[in-house]
Amino acid sequence: MPDPKRDAPHEEGERLQKALAAAGVASRRVVEQYIAEGRVTVDDRVAELGQRVRPEQRVEVDGTPVQLDAGKRYVILNKPTGVVSSLADERGRPDLTTFTRAYPERLYNVGRLDFDTSGLLLLTNDGELAHVLAHPSFGVEKTYVAKVRGRVAPAALARLRQGVELEDGPIAADAARVTGVSGDTSLVELTIHSGRNRVVRRMLDAVGHPVIELVRRRFGPLRLGSLGSGRSRDVSPVELGALLKLSRRAEQRAGRPARAEEDGTP
């Protein structure tokens, strides 16, 4: 006689160790060891070797989420200047389709970068994660490097960290430092979590150092690294785990009221 308790849950999905190996966590043998050691959970319960899982279930290894849905794509693009952060532009300017057409999935950008700003832009077909990462109420940190006019004094950096008054309200940098000086220009690294429109440019202008060039080097746990301008690459399993962890943390805080600002361009 069939045992419904044993058979029913195992008729659907894929074996856990196979799914985790396919997701790039480790080899199947290593994954089996993780499961045996109790390091893997499925929907917040300690997993069992051989159990089956479906793509929509929440699987974590050592507390880090794993994406089991092979249909989801996550891509880092180093957006060049002179490209609008949309899939179409009413003025006919170059847009992101130049880069997304290389992928079979229909990818969308998470947030935006200004036409004259280059750097890290995340492209994905994971709408739920995109919403969390782009919404300013969740406060995802972004780091920019700006080439600005003038030599930036410690007092200007202190003002950026303490907060400057803009036309749409005060704003403070999470971190600000000078990384280089050449002639009458400086390189300033600025970390913020705001999504206001052109906010980095406006902050630096407010302390007397207009931006000449601006690059986004980091978005949450993602870093641009040595990726060339106009080039793209898939997010690694480790980076994806960090992104999903960030997203799920934000979901736990989703009951808090969102700040009244929309994701803009720096």
Alpha-carbon span 87 to 62, nearest angstrom = 37
Pairing of the two strands 14-15 and 52-53: antiparallel
Handedness of CA 113, 176, 208, 206 (dihedral sign): positive
Q: Classify residue 121 by burial, with Cβ atoms within 10 Å: 0-12, 13-18, 19+.
A: buried
Alpha helices in the chain (DSSP H): 4-7, 16-22, 28-36, 97-100, 127-134, 154-162, 199-206, 237-252
Q: What angle do CA 119, 123, 124 make, to 5 degrees?
A: 160
Structure tokens at 189: 């690294």
Buried b vs exposed e over 237-246: b needs ≥16 C-beta within 10 Å?
eebbbbbbbb
Structure tokens at 147: 């080439």
The alpha carbon of 144 is separated from its chain's Cα centroid by a whole number of angstroms, namely 14
- The answer to whether residues 141 and 152 touch, using CB atoms and an 8 Å cutoff, is no
Residue in 114, 174, 205, 263 annotated catalytic: 114
Tell me if residue 205 is catalytic: no
Catalytic center residues: 114
